[in-house]
Amino acid sequence: MKFGIMVNEGPYTHEASDTAYLFAKAALEKGHQIHRIFFYHDGVNNSTKLTEPPQDDRNIVARWTKLAADYKIDLVVCVAAALRRGIRDENLAEGFRISGLGQLIESGIQADRLVVFGD
């Protein structure tokens, strides 16, 4: 099965980002495909390389970067939501790119299921 994933919550605000990551990783390990992961609303905060969690905490941004590199996943950050939160190309973590809502629509069309994490 091919999944599209949408993440609407920040990395340390709720469990939505952790759950989305674990879902994506488990799906890939079971042989499913991920068409794209789209970060929207506060979910765009998953993309900033300015995040510096304490050493004893998980680095959610680094997890997304590694997942994208390991499985060649397209990580798309909504341009409007990103700009509202001060996120620009120069402070994106590796593996992320900024684009528009058309990428979310395309993912919904191309994937068998679009799974949404967060409000």
With tokens 């409007």, the residue in question is 80
Q: Residues with catalytic annotation?
A: 78
CB atoms within 10 A of CB 41: 17
| The pLDDT value given to residue 29 | 97
| The pLDDT value given to residue 13 | 85
3-state secondary structure of 81: helix
| The pLDDT value given to residue 56 | 87
- 119 residues of the chain, pLDDT tens digit each: 999 999 999 999 889 999 999 999 999 999 999 999 999 999 999 999 998 889 889 999 999 999 999 999 999 999 999 999 999 999 999 999 999 999 999 999 999 999 999 98
Reference 23, options 82, 57, 81, 15; nearest CA is: 15
Domain with residue 65: its CATH number is: 3.40.1260.10
3-state secondary structure of 32: coil
Residue ranges of alpha helices (H) inside 1-119 are 16-29, 60-71, 79-84, 102-110
Alpha-carbon gap, residue 81 to 87, rounded angstroms:
8
Domain range enclosing 91: 2-117
| The pLDDT value given to residue 52 | 87
Looking at residue 84, its amino acid is: R
| The pLDDT value given to residue 35 | 97
| The pLDDT value given to residue 14 | 86
The tally of domains found in the chain comes to 1
